Amino acid sequence: MIHAIGLVETTSIAQGIECADIMSKTADVTILVAKTICPGKYIVMVSGDVSGVQQSVNAGVDLGAETVVDSFVIPNVHPSILPAIGRANALKDIKALGIIETFTVASLIEA
């Protein structure tokens, strides 16, 4: 069971890879996603217990410095969040649709 997720989003792929490295070494966390999301942007998402995820994200933000555009830690994350991020939720009988547009992936996941 995943207790918390955390994410660091950078405007540098190289810096994002370095953030993934330090984040995985700082605490007992699992990297869920580490990838380029568009030209020049990179995200690293980790899971684990709340304190480990917080330590990991703090280390990534500190290392990423001026390249970090957003970050978050969500404690007690709802089980439907991860399948939604991975586009694995089956949608049936849609009667309405809402759209949220954001500048960063982190703020979209938080929304």
Give the Cβ contact number of residue 38 at 10 Å.
7
Domain 3-110 has CATH 3.40.190.10: no
Q: How many CA atoms lie within 13 A of 40 on its CB side?
A: 4
How do residues 9-61 score in pLDDT, each as one tens digit? Answer: 999 999 999 999 999 999 999 999 999 998 889 999 999 999 999 999 999 99
Nearest-angstrom CA–CA distance, 59 and 77: 21
Model's pTM, two decimal places? 0.83
Rounded to an integer, what distance in angstroms lies between the CA atom of residue 78 and that of residue 96?
22
Give the pLDDT confidence of 51-94 residue by residue, as tens digits: 999 999 999 999 999 999 999 999 998 887 777 776 666 667 77
What is the C-alpha separation between 34 and 16, in angstroms, rounded? 8
Domain extents for the chain? 3-110
Higher pLDDT: 73 or 104? It is 73
